[in-house]
Amino acid sequence: MRVGIVGSGRIGSALGRLLVSGGYEVLFSAASPGSAEAAASAAGGGARSGSPMEAARFGEVVAIAVGWEAFPEVAEEIGGALSGKVVIDPSNPIAERDGRTLVLAVPDGLTSPQYQQRVLGQDIRLVRTFNTKFSHELLELGTAGQRGGPRADMPYWGDDDAKKSVVPLIEDAGFTAIDGGGLAEAL
């Protein structure tokens, strides 16, 4: 399966690396080409890099691993190419400003992924997952699971069959997939 990664920072590079190890074709992208190239090089296994639009078109599944507040920008840049696709959203409503970590209020009484679904477009098939571990833990735990060690749980939330299609990807990344319910119940 082909996976496009939009955002090749801490989470995007760790997730993409696990997916390459799990046998997936991965194309990394970021705001700047250098981060995507570095993530592809670190992942090895024929991983590629390109622009966010190339990642959106390449992926049968696309992960949007950018800061929570960058989603409107991503929607404007590549939203059309995500139409109908399964989109993994690992974002948390947290921002870092002036060296401080802030928890942001999600508008309109929505859960965070319900809001990101609204931002990206109702015709994308959003699944919230890979947001519950720090990036270094994600890589360590996933790698251990892929090597036959004990598997950590990885919850996922979604509103349609999209979430079922993400289960093999979570398992191939080295985790035990745990159905957390719909987006209304998501962390």
Ligand X SMILES: NC(=O)c1ccc[n+]([C@@H]2O[C@H](COP(=O)([O-])OP(=O)(O)OC[C@H]3O[C@@H](n4cnc5c(N)ncnc54)[C@H](OP(=O)(O)O)[C@@H]3O)[C@@H](O)[C@H]2O)c1
Q: Which residues bind ligand X (CB under 6 A)?
A: 6-12, 30-32, 35, 52, 65-68, 70, 73-74, 77, 90-92, 94, 131, 134-135
Residue 58 or 68: the one with the smaller Cβ distance to ligand X is: 68
CA angle 95, 174, 65 (to 5 degrees): 25
Nearer to ligand X, 9 or 45 (CB): 9
CB closer to ligand X out of 36 and 86: 36
If 0-12 CB within 10 Å is exposed, 13-18 middle and 19+ buried, where does residue 73 land?
middle
Q: Shortest Cβ distance from residue 123 to ligand X (Å)?
A: 20
Q: Which is nearer to ligand X, 16 or 22 (CB)?
A: 16
Q: How far is the CB of 2 from ligand X (least distance, A)?
A: 18
Choice between 11 and 86, CB closer to ligand X: 11
- Kindly report the backbone phi and psi dihedral angles of residue 160, in degrees, each rounded to the nearest multiple of 5, phi listed first: -140, -165
d(CA 183, CA 187): 9
Write down the least CB distance from residue 27 to ligand X, Å.
13
Nearest residue to ligand X on Cβ basis:
9
CA angle 87, 6, 131 (to 5 degrees): 60
Tally Cβ neighbours within 10 Å of residue 53.
15
Kindly state the smallest distance separating residue 133's Cβ from ligand X, in Å.
6
What's the min distance (Å) between Cβ of 70 and ligand X?
4
Q: Between β-strands 94-97 and 100-103, what pairing exists: parallel, antiparallel or unpaired?
A: antiparallel
